[in-house]
Amino acid sequence: MSTTAVNLRQSRAAAFWYSNTGKKIVMAVTGAILFIFVIGHMLGNLQIFQGPERINSYGRFLHNLGEILWAERIVLLSAVVLHIIATVQLALRNKAARPIGYSRRDAINSSYASRTMYWSGPIVLAFVIFHLLHLTAGMIVPGAAFIEGDVYHNVVSGFQVWWVSAWYILAVCLLGLHLRHGIWSMFQSVGVNHPRYMPLLKQAAMWIAAVIVLGYISIPISVLLGLVK
């Protein structure tokens, strides 16, 4: 491949990245990758209701993936970084385009989810870091001792600490708000924005986000109520 062709591709990629449309598409694609992970992670976590052996077996399966698991982590980390950068840069551009704020904010055409999109993301990211240090690395252990490979024990002992469960539930609810807006705006970013379909997509996004939130928070709530012990 000639140097000219390489430079042309690089210039096109740079132009795509620096455009608002390009950043929105990056947000949509990386958001879709993270959404798939959120669904898969939830389904894996819900195996805790099937007992210690089931969830521990799932943990061993993930651990034995080896290089595949690390490749997945790299993809997810890259998606998170690109998603955050694109989101922040678009927010700064929007702010720069309207340097003088409204004297009265009109929320008629925006949802609470969309208005909390930019600050709910960083909070969820902070929660993910805490969650990994808590239940994956065992570096933060507010409850009983962390036992390597015993997923069931670590989850139950961790969520028996009320403030850990409260922080988890709050973060997941914010994730739900983030997803509610992000799912339908993802379709908008890739051109699926016909007036006939957008109300249906918004409703679908709301229900999908609600199912995800209920699926995740059912675990700490069940631990606190003694249903999982």
3-state secondary structure 92-124: HHHHHHCCCCCCCCCCCCCCHHHHCHHHHHHHH
Q: Provide the pLDDT for residue 209.
A: 92
C-alpha span between 132 and 60 (Å, rounded):
17
Torsion of CA 74, 69, 176, 92, to 10 degrees: 0
Q: Provide the pLDDT for residue 5.
A: 63
Q: Is 66 helix (H, G, I), strand (E, B) or coil?
A: coil
**Mean pLDDT, each 10-residue run in order, the chain (229 residues):** 65 84 85 90 95 94 88 87 84 73 48 57 76 78 81 92 91 87 72 73 88 96 94
C-alpha span between 59 and 68 (Å, rounded):
14
On whether residue 8 sits in a domain, the answer given is: no
On whether residue 27 sits in a domain, the answer given is: yes
C-alpha span between 37 and 43 (Å, rounded):
10
On whether residue 202 sits in a domain, the answer given is: yes
Q: Tokens at residue 9, please? A: 């591709």
Q: Provide the pLDDT for residue 106.
A: 47
Q: Is 149 helix (H, G, I), strand (E, B) or coil?
A: coil
Q: Provide the pLDDT for residue 115.
A: 57
On whether residue 189 sits in a domain, the answer given is: yes
Which parts of the chain fold into alpha helices (H)? 3-18, 20-45, 52-63, 67-97, 112-115, 117-131, 151-159, 162-189, 198-224
pTM above 0.85, yes or no: no
Distant-in-sequence, close-in-space partners of 209: CB < 8 Å, separation ≥ 6: 176, 177, 179, 180, 183
On whether residue 15 sits in a domain, the answer given is: no
Q: Exposed, middle or buried by CB within 10 Å (0-12, 13-18, 19+), for 116?
A: middle
On whether residue 16 sits in a domain, the answer given is: no
Residue 187 sits in which domain range?
A: 21-97+111-224
- Write phi, then psi, for 20 (nearest 5 degrees): -60, -40
Split into its structural domains, the chain has a count of: 1
On whether residue 42 sits in a domain, the answer given is: yes
Nearest Cα neighbor of 178 from 229, 221, 123 is: 123
Q: Provide the pLDDT for residue 108.
A: 42
Q: Tokens at residue 163, please? A: 């403030």
On whether residue 13 sits in a domain, the answer given is: no
Q: Is 32 helix (H, G, I), strand (E, B) or coil?
A: helix
User: Hunting for tokens 């099937």 — which residue is that?
Assistant: 50
C-alpha span between 168 and 220 (Å, rounded):
8
Q: Is 12 helix (H, G, I), strand (E, B) or coil?
A: helix
